[in-house]
Amino acid sequence: MAEVDVAHAEIEVEGLNKTFGRRDVLRDVSFGVERGGFLSIMGPNGAGKTTTLRVLATLLTPTSGGVRIAGLDPLDDPMPVRRVIGLISHSPLLYLDLTAYENLRFYADMYGVPERERRIGELLERVELSHRRYDQVRTFSKGMLQRLAIARALLHRPRVLLLDEPYSGLDPHAVDILDGLLAEIRAEHTFVMVSHSIPKTLQLSTQVVIMDAGRIVYRQAGRVDEGDFVAVYREHVNEGVAL
């Protein structure tokens, strides 16, 4: 089990199992993330990383096992949990036919964000998209879409951020903006990130787990040397890894 003081854990996952048909996608997955912690989940494709994240995001119900986020049980009542989590995925989760402003206004109204206009303006400014607020998202580049997706995820001030390969397809400028935003909000948020990038993972994380075939095969808390980690990764997962 992770070296986390469970009494102060923001996220607790215990004995998670998920089956699709006859296929076991998650097998007895357990971990904890302390408040303000940053857990990264690594592993080859099909290891169960995204499934784990989708269970945390209340988008999937596990076959068995327990989850608590900020002390709330999403399996019992997912609605309050949805108000405290934000998801940044490699898909932007934005409506292409709406403008940047209309997308943020839609999500702000769905979450009941107070002082909506000020919050939207502030986030568009922060992701450097104020000048494109009335343009349809369809006309945005991949990097701009991802920047707007970051604004969407932070709109309702979530305290837990779930990141599903957030750096995938980003240009260097968008990477800088995402890095800057994560650094700014780091102290008051708890993060779970799924990533294939070892340098990014080691730079950001307070905890790393490696999953393979639905199981956690390795876990490490604290700083890790990149060279050592690559060796550990190759030892546990017999596949290539993006460095």
Q: Is residue 83 near other proteins by the rule CB under 8 A? A: yes
Contacting residue, 27, 35, 186, 215, with other proteins by CB under 8 A: 35
Q: Is residue 175 near other proteins by the rule CB under 8 A? A: no
Q: Contact, 34 vs 8, CB < 8 A? A: yes
Q: Is residue 85 near other proteins by the rule CB under 8 A? A: yes
Contacting residue, 45, 79, 172, 242, with other proteins by CB under 8 A: 79
Residue among 39, 38, 31, 37 nearest 66 (CA) = 31
Residue closer to other proteins by CB (options 30, 136) is 136
Residue closer to other proteins by CB (options 83, 236) is 83
**Contact window for other proteins (CB under 8 A) among 37-45, 110-118, 196-204, 232-240:** 110-118
Q: Which residues of the chain form contacts with other proteins (CB under 8 A)? A: 7-10, 35, 57-61, 70-73, 76-77, 79-80, 82-85, 87, 89, 91-98, 102, 106-107, 109-114, 136, 145, 152, 159
